[in-house]
Structure 1
């Protein structure tokens, strides 16, 4: 678009999944644990001893970082040119769009396409794990809908 922002940004269920995996939940299993690195976090999560939304401490690039399990898992799909601090927060649609934009600016077109595909996959994976989805049944249809549609049709004729 004219703004220069990328148009390939995850939506709906993908955003829900990424939001779910990066949010922090109090008293989650494994909260407060410290890990030597991201690999150790992934292993603890895979074995079930650590919750996705647990607040943890991880050594990354020689520094101790406070984060969540989900953010560490998300960092595995992010190009190396993007610092972890960019995703070390609850990722909403705006944050994801900023991530894709930053990837395009620092890593180029090819890496951005790969990132978008990976965001799609991880978003669907974790929205499924969370059991969240958006569908028509979630929408509240106003009782006045029929009248509003009839009025609009009459105006168009």
Structure 2
């Protein structure tokens, strides 16, 4: 499968009163650099938390259940693993894959807990972070999306 770049765009729920509140959204967009190029970005699809009504949906900027759901959705999409529940990364579905659950939780701590209300993060950054995570732990069995990462651009002048 050819590498396909995309950008993950998180938008925190808004509104001060219950009638206005909107759940956090995770959009998957075509990658664009800079704020002016992002004005006409194409949304490829939206990641959905299946258990949003019962458990509260996605979150970030802290380490908790919403952050774990967001991490599972982003990592499953970026690694081309399919549904987080079916690949073993979910918080609620069984069986769970121990490595994918640890990957999810470390992504929460290292990345998503640091984000503010609105952010963008490229798939290449997710894949490079995940590849480093596997290598640091000496796990040789890599998901297919991590076996051949896109080349780094040489920026030496």
Query: Larger % of helix: which?
Result: 1
The TM-score normalised by the length of structure 1 is: 0.34
